[in-house]
Amino acid sequence: MNIRSSSAVALGLVIAAIAATGGMANSGSANSVQCGIVETAQKGMLVLEGMLTSPVAISGEYRLAIRSSSNGGSSNISQGGYFTAKADEATSLGKVTLNTGSSYNVVFDVTANGKKIECDQDITSLR
């Protein structure tokens, strides 16, 4: 689980870890599934999107759960279901919009080919 807090300044910056430097979940090989959270700002709001890419077409299930809190209250959001992804194509697996300045906790995981992958890292290279 990641606990994060955003601010207006942080939203203007690129938040990322590049796959080649270990900022993305993978199964240990160069040809593995890569997944993570893309954080962006849109119309003054914080947008969190689960993204996945794979060198081969795959299908499976995903779960994106976010617990957030801000001055206006708190919320629990849970998305999930089956997915299919084409080879070498970024695929969105859930998208949530939160108030700017919210603190949040993200759980994002994917199960494909019988293997569960934790995907709660910040990324931008899949967008």
Q: What is the CATH number of domain 2-118?
A: 2.60.40.2420
The amino acid at residue 14 is V
Question: Whole-structure pTM over 0.95, yes or no?
Answer: no
Sequence-ordered list of residues with C-beta below 8 angstroms from that of 126, at least 6 positions apart, any chain: 24, 34, 35, 36, 38, 51, 52, 53, 90
Q: Where are the domains of the chain?
A: 2-118
Q: What is the pLDDT along the chain (127 residues), one digit of tens a residue?
A: 444 544 332 322 222 222 332 333 433 343 588 999 999 999 989 999 999 999 999 999 999 999 988 887 888 999 999 999 999 999 999 999 998 888 999 999 999 988 998 886 666 655 5
CA 99 – CA 48 distance, rounded (Å) = 11
